[in-house]
Structure 1
Amino acid sequence: MSPDGRHALVLGASGFIGRHVVLALGQAGVRVSAANRSDASRQRLAHWLAGRGHDRVPADLRVDFATDSLIEGECDDITEIYNCAGAYRFGMSVEEARRANVDSVRAVVAFAARLPNLRRLVQVSGYRVGGHDPEPWTEGRRREAYRTLGAYEASRVEADAVFQDLATQSGVPWSIVNPASVIGDSITGESDQYLGLASTMKDLWQGSLAALPGDRRTFVPVVAADHLARFMTLLPMDAATRSTSYWLLDDDTPALHDLLTLVAEHYGVRAPRARVPVALLKRLPQRLTKADPETLTFLSADRYPTDSAHAFAARHRLAMPDTVTTIHRWADHLAAHRFGDAPSGDRRFTEPGGFRTFELGEPGAPTLMLPGLPVNADTWAPVVAAVGNARAVDLPGLGMSTGRHDDWPAWLTALVTETGARHLVGHSIGAAAAVEAATVHPHAVDRLTLVSPFFLQAPPRRTAKSPLLTRPYLRRTTPTGLAARLTGGTNHATALRSSVADLRRGAVAATTARLLAATGNTRWRADLRDKLRCYPGHVHIIVGSRDPLTAEGESLLSVLPDATVTVIDGAGHHPQLTHPEDVAEAMGGTSLGLRGENGVSAARGGL
């Protein structure tokens, strides 16, 4: 039973803010109905809620803003409405923006006015939107607003005025929330919005932000998505909030330059030293600034009337989460999910041994995959998923991890002794890391799976031994070019897009080039073979038939007490790209019994 008979309707329930509101209401025990445009939207919402431990799916109502009824289904017992619908998108036409953000508000207020038990209609507006004159707009004012502000912001300003005017005239009890830039969840950092400030952080991450926009006073405040949702769900229960607008943001959000510098330090990249005033940004062509003109109005030194929101939060004992911590978590989530290019999957940054490390797969899984060169952990995602109870990490200084080769000892020790890695799967250079870890902690590492272990195979080509030649190639290569170089064709170019993006960041290409050259070092190769010879646990070698072991490698494996070799027919040095199912099958065969089928052949005790 809902507290106080509450029945909430959430419009825009499958959107970023809407689903957080649905979750907050559900956690408070409120009966919730979600207005969805389609069954696909409902399913996405249910999946998202379930992923956060909330299996109570809200009632599904269909919404159509083009109809007079707005909602299909029985709605008379609805006590509160949360309007999170609308279009948050730059580059819309005036007609499109007004239809999405102004006409939809008219429909929502008209619908709310027909509900006999409504206690509150909560409208989500914006911190740059509220505070304008709510009087009905003249045609001249409308033209001027859309000319100066752009279609998106002008439509939200007009919608705010229309909402207040119509709701007041209709006797609809209303409250407005004017949130700042809504960033990720304060606990997880989760966000799937990549516009505005998030796009600037993407440029920062990629090293393509040439200058900091604005000046030292430019203020782009933020608020955590979950805090905003909790704030909104409390409004209908407080009579003092009727006919009131609240600016929800942290007044102590660092100024924009300080915020971006803070994120740069967290990412381990350099913040630009150059600064471009807003006035100049507005004059420069978009092809140079790479900024949508509509976003420039948000670069302001303005401050906002937050006292009433602070008083309300204090009255209801709602504490705002620490903003800097939330920014860090949000920044991590954005980068881990490649700013929308890798939206799904369990992806995160961890800090084994104090080293910032990208990891994908199941946290704490005993099977840990260490990628080779010049690819990243993402190329192992299909194998991780197929094996199950596994994860993959980027080595220090490679992929999306920070650090250097010198950090390997401390980093590997932390992985093995602190994160529960018991089965190390090393590919190419990752095989060296796996052997190094097993040598230092032989009783902590139960088994080794070495995929294309370079020190048991032919030395690299002469060109790979020169970092001066390799580094510029890696910095400029394309997914198709890299696919052709690694696999002999372009079929796997899509799987290498993220690896190419990583190689263009910071010193990743330089680190990769140095390690590629090191794989030809005769002394290191011999040292790794000696260490492998001394490892007491089970060793499983996986190679492609086109990238075989050397005679020396075969001889070493023949004397190991517990060794298995799997050869994948038709594969080269990167079987995780060309034959991921076969690699996963071979890894499963280590414990389930190997089978010589589907292009996989195996032998125990050497070849």
Structure 2
Amino acid sequence: MDDSFDTFVTGGSGFIGRWLLAELTRRGRRVVALVRRAGEREKELRAFVDAHGGDARLLRCVDGDLTRDGLGLDIALEGVRDVYHLGAAFEFGMDPVRARAVNVEGTLRVARWAASRPQLRRLVHLGGYRATRMPAWLCEAQIPLSSHDRARLYREHGAYEASKLESQLEVRALAAREGIPLTIVSPSTVIGDSRTGETIQVTGLGEMIGRMVAGELPALAGSARTNVPVVAVDHVAAMLATAPERDETIGRELCVLDARTPPLPELVRRIGDHLGVAAPTRVLAPALLRALPRSLTGVDPETLTFLSEDDYDTRSAEEHARAVGIEMPDLDTTLRRWATYLTSTRFGACAPSGAATIRDVAGSRTFVVGRPETAQTLFLHGLPWDAESWRDVADLTPGSSARVDLPGLGRSSPARVDDVAWLDALLADRARPIVLVGHSLGAGLALRFAARRPQRVSRLVLVSPAFLQRRAPAMLRCAALTSRALRGMSLERAQRRFLGAGDVHPAVESAHAHLRRPGVASRIARALAGASTLEARAELRRLLEAIAVPVTIVHGDQDPLEVRPACEIVTVAGAGHVLHVTHPEAVSAQLRDDEFASTPLHLT
């Protein structure tokens, strides 16, 4: 490796680190990133950098270790001018010895390595915003800390935060002694990218939102004035990348946060409103939570040290941002995009659901993948599924498509109108008819909508339409029993019940996860019972006989039709009721010849 690399980054595979690598290479910097198992991780990191506006041709990854002298490097890197230290052990409940080895001693090793660079311009250390409000006794303590002071620090703050505070004190002292040009950038709680909401970190506030969505957050810790400021990861990356460009930041600490962040209860309420879930109204004092068993509260006592009513001095960061032309992104937009991304990935449990949004549709905060207003095809799921069940079919089908979670199911909150009126509102801005593809219960919804608004639909594809098949067993027609069974169903049993033996399918994982959301299981049970009545089945059969829209029915030979209507019927060999999940190619094949309707809508 030659000496043309001018920038060195530790922690490049972490949350903030990834965005920093993209930002630095976007600015033309030639970057070496120290990571463990570089050979395994470089390909993935380079792909991330290219996908996020950077230039992976300017990035190299090398093996190293913060706990080893010389960082375990076997290359000189004499041309490095800027050193960014982001590497740290981030975990609550850590052993203090491990926390100090990585976060304190590792920081000092990086600083000494940086000081030995003949062309060093800047050492940029990633701190934490809580360090800008250190206790008075700690600010006055002698550095290095005495064993008494260190024990007190780790007892009061826990190993993670204590090690970060100690490392910040130690690196300042070392820089002052040895004349190292140091800038500390201390972000607050870092949330997703302001443009996309993307994140790879759920710890802390993200976990809290996940518990709220699942109905497992009865109260908040803190007070009505608790301040947990947030900041977007791309803004932090830009502040880090530009810190060495100005001599004025030498010896300064930039506290990077969005001062517009409301107090924690209001912050959580805004996110809850966006997601269509109720935010907790009760607030419990941290002292009370510390006194109660963790098994009862579900709260790690170490996380409570981050809760305070403090304000933070952001003047240095704001001055720098103005000088280099960086604007703070809009807070509410960033929060909404981040919350949507978290929901789309089930809080880090799966890959994101494409271009997902959460929008208001007839009173429902509706989870949408794609753009129903322009898509050629709209997929409607059945029970107990969600939009994820259509992912494979959508990926295999040419042309634009959209898929949604129906009102009150999956990630969508209930609507204030019936499902047909909700679908009418969802498609209200379309200029052309759409292909509606519905599974089971969703097939009935697609049919009812086409009967009410035939001019809005170019074609119906009904996959396993339950109203043409054997009626649900008597037990499933009892909403109370079904609701109880769904809530108590294990993931493994759900796989066996819905798809049969085998590894758990991602669509089953998604459907099962949403059964934890308040009211979802009971709404599924009521919808199933209502769709199974003789009257509902007869009505849908009459609508199908009279419909003027072209119809294709797709079903599996293991899930036969009781009635064979006068329309195109495709039978898939070896398939059961959920063939769009088990046989996505066969379903997609029925959609590949569709031409996007060229006739504009003429609505009356």
| TM-score normalised by L of structure 1 | 0.88
Shifted more, 511-520 versus 496-505: the winner is 496-505
Note the 1:254-293 alignment, pairs <5 A: 254-293=262-301
Offset, 1:32: 3.0
Question: Paired residue for 1:602?
Answer: none
Question: Paired residue for 2:215?
Answer: 207
Structure 1 residues 433 and 53, CA gap change in structure 2 (3 angstroms): farther
SS in structure 2 at match of 1:423: strand
Deviations 1:374-405 (A, max 9, x none): 12222333333344655432111111112248
Q: Which whole-Å CA distance do the structure 1 matches of 2:113 and 2:503 have between them? A: 53
> Is the counterpart of residue 315 in structure 1 residue 323 in structure 2?
yes
Structure 1 residues 310 and 494, CA gap change in structure 2 (3 angstroms): closer
SS in structure 1 at match of 2:347: helix
> Is the counterpart of residue 413 in structure 1 residue 424 in structure 2?
yes
The letter of the residue matching 2:366 is: T
Question: Paired residue for 1:24?
Answer: 23
Shifted more, 531-540 versus 258-267: the winner is 531-540
Q: Which of 386, 389, 392 is 1:376 aligned to? A: 386
Q: Which whole-Å CA distance do the structure 1 matches of 2:257 and 2:35 have between them? A: 28
Q: Which whole-Å CA distance do the structure 2 matches of 1:8 and 1:345 have between them? A: 35
Deviations 1:520-577 (A, max 9, x none): 2333333323333344454322222232101xx21x23xx3xx1322332x3322244
> Is the counterpart of residue 565 in structure 1 residue 570 in structure 2?
yes
Q: Which of 535, 545, 563 is 1:533 aligned to? A: 545
Structure 1 residues 34 and 410, CA gap change in structure 2 (3 angstroms): farther
> Is the counterpart of residue 348 in structure 1 residue 356 in structure 2?
yes
Q: Which whole-Å CA distance do the structure 2 matches of 1:287 and 1:88 have between them? A: 22
Offset, 1:11: 1.8
Structure 1 residues 193 and 217, CA gap change in structure 2 (3 angstroms): same
Report if the CA contact (8 A) 2:415-2:422 is conserved.
no
> Is the counterpart of residue 177 in structure 1 residue 185 in structure 2?
yes
Give the percent of matched residue pairs that are identical in Structure 1 and Structure 2.
37
Question: Paired residue for 1:605?
Answer: none
Shifted more, 452-461 versus 466-475: the winner is 466-475
> Is the counterpart of residue 519 in structure 1 residue 531 in structure 2?
yes
Report if the CA contact (8 A) 1:146-1:154 is conserved.
yes
Offset, 1:479: 2.1
Question: Paired residue for 1:574?
Answer: 578
Q: Which of 395, 404, 410 is 1:393 aligned to? A: 404
Question: Paired residue for 1:598?
Answer: none
Note the 1:434-583 alignment, pairs <5 A: 434-487=446-499, 489=501, 492=504, 495-550=507-562, 553-554=563-564, 556-557=565-566, 560=567, 563-569=568-574, 571-577=575-581, 579=582, 582-583=583-584
The letter of the residue matching 1:428 is: S
Question: Paired residue for 2:585?
Answer: 584
Offset, 1:105: 0.7
Q: Which whole-Å CA distance do the structure 1 matches of 2:422 and 2:178 have between them? A: 64
Question: Paired residue for 1:600?
Answer: none
Question: Paired residue for 2:47?
Answer: 47
Offset, 1:287: 0.6
Report how many aligned residue pairs link the two structures: 578
Q: Which whole-Å CA distance do the structure 2 matches of 1:506 and 1:330 have between them? A: 22
Shifted more, 404-413 versus 71-80: the winner is 404-413
Shifted more, 387-396 versus 267-276: the winner is 387-396
Report if the CA contact (8 A) 1:479-1:494 is conserved.
no
SS in structure 1 at match of 2:577: coil
Deviations 1:130-158 (A, max 9, x none): 45438321222112211221111111111
Report if the CA contact (8 A) 2:7-2:80 is conserved.
yes
SS in structure 1 at match of 2:25: helix
Q: Which whole-Å CA distance do the structure 2 matches of 1:72 and 1:537 have between them? A: 70
Report if the CA contact (8 A) 1:20-1:225 is conserved.
yes
Structure 1 residues 14 and 139, CA gap change in structure 2 (3 angstroms): same
Q: Which whole-Å CA distance do the structure 2 matches of 1:386 and 1:293 have between them? A: 47
Question: Paired residue for 1:7?
Answer: 6
Shifted more, 311-320 versus 109-118: the winner is 311-320
> Is the counterpart of residue 298 in structure 1 residue 298 in structure 2?
no
Shifted more, 328-337 versus 475-484: the winner is 475-484
The letter of the residue matching 1:111 is: W
Shifted more, 153-162 versus 308-317: the winner is 308-317
Question: Paired residue for 1:126?
Answer: 128
Note the 1:161-172 alignment, pairs <5 A: 161-172=169-180
Q: Which whole-Å CA distance do the structure 1 matches of 2:63 and 2:149 have between them? A: 31
Question: Paired residue for 2:99?
Answer: 97
The letter of the residue matching 1:25 is: L
Q: Which whole-Å CA distance do the structure 2 matches of 1:58 and 1:30 have between them? A: 7
The letter of the residue matching 1:222 is: V
Question: Paired residue for 2:436?
Answer: 424
Q: Which whole-Å CA distance do the structure 2 matches of 1:13 and 1:495 have between them? A: 32
Report if the CA contact (8 A) 1:479-1:493 is conserved.
no
Report if the CA contact (8 A) 1:91-1:151 is conserved.
yes
Q: Which whole-Å CA distance do the structure 2 matches of 1:568 and 1:391 have between them? A: 27
Q: Which whole-Å CA distance do the structure 2 matches of 1:238 and 1:46 have between them? A: 28
SS in structure 2 at match of 1:481: helix
Structure 1 residues 477 and 88, CA gap change in structure 2 (3 angstroms): same
Q: Which whole-Å CA distance do the structure 1 matches of 2:44 and 2:502 have between them? A: 34
Offset, 1:55: 4.5
Question: Paired residue for 2:165?
Answer: 157
Q: Which whole-Å CA distance do the structure 1 matches of 2:493 and 2:69 have between them? A: 55
SS in structure 1 at match of 2:274: helix
SS in structure 1 at match of 2:391: helix
Report if the CA contact (8 A) 2:132-2:312 is conserved.
no
Offset, 1:98: 1.4
SS in structure 2 at match of 1:246: strand
Structure 1 residues 110 and 489, CA gap change in structure 2 (3 angstroms): same
The letter of the residue matching 1:504 is: R
Structure 1 residues 46 and 279, CA gap change in structure 2 (3 angstroms): same
Question: Paired residue for 1:217?
Answer: 225
Q: Which whole-Å CA distance do the structure 2 matches of 1:131 and 1:415 have between them? A: 48
Question: Paired residue for 2:599?
Answer: none
5+ residue gaps in structure 2? Answer: 595-604
Q: Which whole-Å CA distance do the structure 2 matches of 1:332 and 1:314 have between them? A: 30
Question: Paired residue for 2:33?
Answer: 34
Structure 1 residues 299 and 435, CA gap change in structure 2 (3 angstroms): same
Structure 1 residues 533 and 351, CA gap change in structure 2 (3 angstroms): farther
Question: Paired residue for 1:79?
Answer: 81
Q: Which whole-Å CA distance do the structure 2 matches of 1:205 and 1:485 have between them? A: 25
The letter of the residue matching 2:422 is: W
| TM-score normalised by L of structure 2 | 0.89
Report if the CA contact (8 A) 1:376-1:398 is conserved.
yes
Q: Which whole-Å CA distance do the structure 1 matches of 2:505 and 2:21 have between them? A: 40
Offset, 1:214: 1.1
Structure 1 residues 39 and 428, CA gap change in structure 2 (3 angstroms): same
5+ residue gaps in structure 1? Answer: 594-607
SS in structure 2 at match of 1:309: helix
Structure 1 residues 314 and 535, CA gap change in structure 2 (3 angstroms): same
Shifted more, 438-447 versus 104-113: the winner is 438-447
SS in structure 2 at match of 1:88: coil
Structure 1 residues 488 and 76, CA gap change in structure 2 (3 angstroms): closer
Q: Which whole-Å CA distance do the structure 1 matches of 2:44 and 2:496 have between them? A: 37
Shifted more, 118-127 versus 79-88: the winner is 79-88
Q: Which whole-Å CA distance do the structure 2 matches of 1:590 and 1:304 have between them? A: 56
Question: Paired residue for 2:367?
Answer: 358
Report if the CA contact (8 A) 2:555-2:571 is conserved.
yes
SS in structure 2 at match of 1:60: strand
The letter of the residue matching 1:510 is: S
Offset, 1:311: 2.3
SS in structure 1 at match of 2:260: coil
Offset, 1:412: 2.2
Q: Which whole-Å CA distance do the structure 1 matches of 2:69 and 2:532 have between them? A: 73
Q: Which whole-Å CA distance do the structure 1 matches of 2:189 and 2:86 have between them? A: 15
Structure 1 residues 462 and 82, CA gap change in structure 2 (3 angstroms): same
SS in structure 1 at match of 2:561: coil
